[in-house]
Structure 1
Amino acid sequence: MAEERPRRGPGRWVARGLVLTFVLVAGLGAWFGGRSLFESVLGPRCQATAAGSSVDFDPEQMSNAATITAIALRRGLPARAATIALATAIQESKLRNIRYGDRDSVGLFQQRPSQGWGTVEQILDPEYSTNKFYDALVKVDGWETGTITVVAQKVQRSAYPEAYADHEQEGRILASSLAGHSPRGVGCRLDGAEGEADVALIGRLLEAEYSLGVRAVEGTLSVQAPSEQLAWSIASWSVAKAVDTGITGVTIGDRSWTRSRDSSAWEWQVADTPVGPLEVQLHLT
């Protein structure tokens, strides 16, 4: 008489199902984790460096940081103002121009239409929202020397005011490099541009954010700055805005940045054809 095999009940299938589920979840986690790692390590990325310290952001974030810093300079405000604004925007939106937030908050600074900051459409314009932030900032007594936590809270009236201080160092590095106080401080590793750069957009942005004009010179655009610091600010801004405008290279003095996905795009190289120290040359193809 053959030995009777033990019966295997439904528990066997439950166990197999749990194992399969675990494998699937682990696989998906590895895929998403690997994708995030790929994008952060090998994908488009920007870096700002000042006083030996660096911070990394994606191109969208760096482009918005450039706008915030440039407008501070156009208004004649010190880098301290940009530091406060940048730390605030990092906390409020992670430097993204988002269309949602707490209650009716929107935009880089999560400003609320119901609190008199403007319409949704206005607040979603980075130039408008940045100017509104500075309008409020300069009305705060002692903003030039006060702590970021106190000053930003008086502007924003946030439920979590202590959080602004967490981003002060990032704000300082971005403000210093993008304002031109730390030359060669901004580099972006980017995908290749699709077609030629948008000349009209570059001109509009330079006028709105720096009050400066641009002239075409043999397939490039040239911007003349009133000082070397401002020239480096414009050069850094141009790198940060390359993702939006399609700029493929920037030359200032004897240094140049060339759009690329390899490590050379992190740094400014010796220029093949130098220009004057107050000239910023933007390459379009």
Structure 2
Amino acid sequence: MRRPHPPLAEERRPLWPKVVGALCVVGLVAGLGVWYLRDQIGLFLGEQCEATALSQSVSFRPDQMNHASTIVTLGVKRDLPARAGTIAVATAIQESKLRNLTYGDRDSVGLFQQRPSQGWGTVEQLQDPLYATNAFYDALVAVDGWTDMRITEIAQEVQRSGYPEAYADHEYQGRIIASTLSGHSPEGFVCRLDDPTAQGRPDTFVAAVSEQTGQAATAEGQVVSVTAPDARRAWSVGAWSVAQAKARNVTSVQVGDRQWTRGAGDSAMQWRDADESLPATSVRVTLHGG
């Protein structure tokens, strides 16, 4: 009867290197998948801001919604109808995906990809979202009958676009975002954010409230207060404050008796009853104390 031969050297090698190698491959693939979902497709994981109106929701990254809030509230400040915000946001989505780009086709730059060579302003001016947005609105309101025109017609008149039909693809997104940030859809704007990384600046926040929303604000410690002329304007300031939360280290926003509290979980994706009720026209913004 033959005895079994001793295991060969290769048979005696442990299996753990192969197991570890396989796990590393699986981990790498999973990591790439998460990166792709978060940064390329975006918005399925991690930080995000969401606007909900008309039974529909639109999501973008916090930096993109920061720009959207500037666009919409500047329109509100100018007493333009909500449609102006819709048109402006839809245009910025098409042109830059709501990013303040330093490059573009030929000499185009900024949120709206405006061209210095076409008289929009200098490169430095067009890289300022406030200047670029006001320049867009100046051109928009100069178009006779703009409130009744289709967005594709307006795009051709204002942007001198070679592909005006593309703007229509983003009109519903612009309408939802404009509705929430202009205060027409209370509680419609929320963000899920990581913890603040720096102390909030009440002085710069007060200045930004005035500059972007047109409302007066006061600060006491790390709390900024606004009294709006009506509830809709209060909700516009509140939504703007949430959209600015990541950049300005905001931890909570209260409008009337409702409050949004910063967080990285699903609890931050809704407004809740505040511990202390305020008048419907009052907004209270708390900044991180550091």
Structure-1-length-normalised TM-score: 0.88
* SS of residue matched to 1:248: strand
| CA drift at 1:31 | 3.8
Aligned match of 2:101: 98
Distance 2:103 2:28 in 1: 28
Aligned match of 1:15: none
Alignment of 1:39-118 (within 5 A): 40-118=43-121
Aligned match of 2:32: 32
Aligned match of 1:210: 213
Residue identity (%): 53
Matched pairs, number: 262
The answer on whether the counterparts of 1:61 and 1:96 sit within 8 Å (CA) in structure 2 is yes
* SS of residue matched to 2:76: helix
Alignment of 1:165-176 (within 5 A): 165-176=168-179
Aligned match of 1:13: none
Aligned match of 1:192: 195
Over 6 Å off, 4+ runs: 24-29
RMSD: 1.8
Distance 1:28 1:163 in 2: 37
Alignment of 1:129-168 (within 5 A): 129-168=132-171
1:254/1:27 Cα in 2 relative to 1: closer, same or farther (>3 Å)? closer
Distance 1:98 1:27 in 2: 34
The answer on whether the counterparts of 1:251 and 1:274 sit within 8 Å (CA) in structure 2 is no
Gaps (5+ residues) in structure 2? Answer: 1-23
Aligned match of 2:271: 268
Q: Are 2:133 and 1:126 aligned? A: no
Gaps (5+ residues) in structure 1? Answer: 1-23
The answer on whether the counterparts of 1:64 and 1:126 sit within 8 Å (CA) in structure 2 is yes
| CA drift at 1:48 | 0.1
The answer on whether the counterparts of 2:202 and 2:223 sit within 8 Å (CA) in structure 1 is no
- CA displacement 1:7-32 (0-9 Å, x = unmatched): xxxxxxxxxxxxxxxxx999977643
Distance 1:163 1:193 in 2: 37
Aligned match of 2:19: none
| AA aligned opposite 1:171 | G
The answer on whether the counterparts of 2:86 and 2:178 sit within 8 Å (CA) in structure 1 is yes
| AA aligned opposite 1:65 | A
The answer on whether the counterparts of 1:45 and 1:58 sit within 8 Å (CA) in structure 2 is yes
| CA drift at 1:208 | 1.2
- CA displacement 1:186-211 (0-9 Å, x = unmatched): 00000111232121221221121122
